[in-house]
Amino acid sequence: MFKRFVHYYKKYKLIFALDMLAAFFIAVIGIGYPIITRLMLSDWIQNEELKYIIIGGVTLVTIYLVRMGLRFFVQYYGHVMGVNMQGDMRRDLFTKLQKLPYSYFDNHETGVIMSTMTNDLFDISELAHHGPENIFIASFTAIGAITYLMIVDWILGLILLAVIPILFFVTWFFRRKFRDAMRRSKKAIAGINARLESSISGIRVTKAFTNEETEQRRFEEANQEYISARRDVFASMGKYFAVSQFITDFFNVLVLVVGGIFLYIYKGIDGFDIADYSTFIVSVGLFINPINQLIMFMEQFESASAGFRRFVALLDEKEETIYNGKKECPNLEGDLVFEHVSFHYDGSDEVLDDVSFHLEKGKTLALVGPSGGGKTTICHLIPRFYFLEKGHIYIDGVDIGEYTLNSLREKIGIVQQDVFLFGGTIKDNILYGKSDASDEEVVEAARRANILDFINSLPKGWDTEIGERGVRLSGGQKQRLSIARLFLKNPPILILDEATSALDNTTEMLIQKSLTELAKGRTCLVVAHRLSTIKNADEIAVISQGKIKEMGNHEALMKQNGIYADLYKLQFKNSDQVIADIEIG
């Protein structure tokens, strides 16, 4: 863990070295005040050396001006280094997220991931900057102060040294509770982020169902958990600081009293005088405050280390690339074969059970059947969103596991029921299909997707902002926009996963026209609940309970008078007849 943390300093070795050098001089300058104080009290004032008194004052002001500049350097450049390191970590984390498989996002909430990306990385960057700097300044200040005070009087110096083990014992005593409370606090803030992300994403559903009070209650539960966790953190902190401050105050009194007794009883003996006594009084804080600062560093360390553990755990997640093949996927013809494919999601029963079929290039296979039967899973296995445990999938006679993921996915286009569009303009979202496409190609893609007239009718045309997830567009407009970016991508294999099931009949007819145009000359896999949309498919497979129950074209399956025929008849009966059949059944 330490090596991985230090790794992020490598790019900033020079600024880090200068930062530590500045911290060293800040610490050294801090010793100047008690030294000059002692000289004034023991020599210059008694001997009426006005010149040296002024020189001493000017010297202190001068070195404090230097320290001011050094502190600016540490604060500014140190924070710049910290935020750059934070940026490097965030970049590594985002890059990692792009390489994680679908299954990771199935099992982890977006808000929790965002909490690591923001809150945890902020704490880590603060430790990266302030940690070494605080340790450096506090250590050298404390060492310098106690060394000088031991020279002045070793007995009082030893009394001051006695504070260190006591303070560290107090820290050790409270550390475990503080660490546990801090971890709970981090988990709670991640829960708040997850709840917030979910509520904002689903705000329209919340308002539609008038469930604002329910969402408020759920958020408040997460909020109260965070408050409770932070209360435990503050309780641990409060107890520690109260006790440690009492110890500091006690030692201040002890030095004051013991030094006073020394001065009263042994005045003049061993050279201990009022100057030495005053030096100790003004220097107690100079020694104890850095010790307290070192101990307070433990709070920052616990917070940041908990975040860094989560950061590293995410970086260590298995990537898709471990399943990456070596071959670059060529220009595919699209001949698709499933051979004894079985699959299940983590923590669930088998979803697909020994599925086999052959879809010839340029042909269309429709998958129908009840929800949860495995239709969408078949679609997700082709671009290798999930990874096979049993069986093989071949495209043009080559196992898809031999291809690199990127080159394989470049040859596959997907249109889903739940279209995802990115915030930005209409043109930006179409260009997502091919970022280097010319304006002519973009216009042609929009024309073939039957959305060109709509775009031209808008006041800002191609530069129209569509809002988050395309909220300013209708369902049909979003679907046609997604089809347009697929025309740009121009893949040889096309997957239509219930692409029109959420649309009204008029819009569905318009979208079907676009999809028919898109499917020309491509190998096409269609998942559909509306059987009227797939009557003309070359092959239809009925999927139920992870198995292919029936397979053939529409006419053949109707003649079998099996599951498909029942589904088809049921969809096209009027509602009264359906009710009558249910009553008879």
| 165 falls within a domain | yes
- C-alpha dihedral (115, 121, 123, 128), degrees to nearest 10: 170
Q: Of 132, 122, 239, whose CA–CA distance to 175 is shortest?
A: 239
DSSP 318: P
Instruction: Tell how far CA 219 is from the center of its chain.
Output: 20
The Cα 487–Cα 225 span in angstroms is 49
- The H-assigned helical ranges of 119-162 are 121-152, 154-161
Instruction: Tell how far CA 424 is from the center of its chain.
Output: 22
Return the bridge partners of 415, or none. 496
Buried-state track 135-173, b at ≥16 Cβ within 10 A, e below 16: bbbbbbbbebbbebbeebbeebbebbeebbeebbebbee
**Residues of the chain falling short of pLDDT 70:** 171, 175-176, 201-202, 204-210, 266-272, 295-296, 299, 321-323, 347-350, 499-508, 510, 572-585
The Cα 399–Cα 179 span in angstroms is 50
Q: Do 35 and 286 touch, CB atoms closer than 8 A? A: no
DSSP 40: I
Q: Do 326 and 201 touch, CB atoms closer than 8 A? A: no
| 105 falls within a domain | yes
Strand, coil or helix: 358: strand
Q: Do 487 and 519 touch, CB atoms closer than 8 A? A: no
Give the per-residue pLDDT at 478: 84
Unique residue bearing structure tokens 């005040």: 33
The tokens for 31 are 């010793």
Within 440-508, strands assigned E span 493-497
The Cα 411–Cα 429 span in angstroms is 19
| 429 falls within a domain | no
Domain assignment of residue 146, given as a range: 90-317
Q: Of 295, 293, 305, 292, whose CA–CA distance to 171 is shortest?
A: 295
The DSSP string of 319-356 is PGGGG--SBPP------EEEEEEEEE-TTS-EEEEEEE
Return the bridge partners of 412, or none. 493
Give the per-residue pLDDT at 95: 86
**Cβ-Cβ contacts under 8 Å for 24 (sequence gap 6 or more):** 136, 137, 140
Q: Of 135, 179, 198, whose CA–CA distance to 307 is shortest?
A: 179
In the chain, the number of structural domains is: 1
Angle in degrees, 0-180, between the axes of helices 121-152 and 13-30, rounded to the nearest 10:
30
Query: CA triplet 264, 266, 270: central angle to 5 degrees?
Result: 140
The tokens for 9 are 């300093």
**Cβ-Cβ contacts under 8 Å for 249 (sequence gap 6 or more):** none
The tokens for 126 are 């603060």
| 387 falls within a domain | no
| Cβ burial, residue 520 (10 Å; 0-12/13-18/19+) | exposed
The Cβ-side half-sphere exposure at 457, using a 13 Å CA radius, reads 5
Give the per-residue pLDDT at 278: 77
Q: What's the predicted TM-score (pTM) here?
A: 0.69
Q: Do 526 and 534 touch, CB atoms closer than 8 A? A: yes
The Cβ-side half-sphere exposure at 526, using a 13 Å CA radius, reads 28
The Cβ-side half-sphere exposure at 315, using a 13 Å CA radius, reads 17
The Cα 295–Cα 300 span in angstroms is 10
The Cα 573–Cα 336 span in angstroms is 35
| 554 falls within a domain | no
The tokens for 306 are 């908990």
Backbone angles phi, psi at 416, to 5 degrees: -115, 165
| 222 falls within a domain | yes
| Cβ burial, residue 300 (10 Å; 0-12/13-18/19+) | middle
The tokens for 575 are 């509602």
Pairing status of strand 539-544 against strand 493-497: unpaired
- CATH code of residue 161: 1.20.1560.10
| 29 falls within a domain | no
Unique residue bearing structure tokens 């809150």: 119
Tens of pLDDT, residue by residue over 347-390, are 666 688 888 999 998 898 989 888 778 888 898 899 888 888 78
| 525 falls within a domain | no
Give the per-residue pLDDT at 323: 66
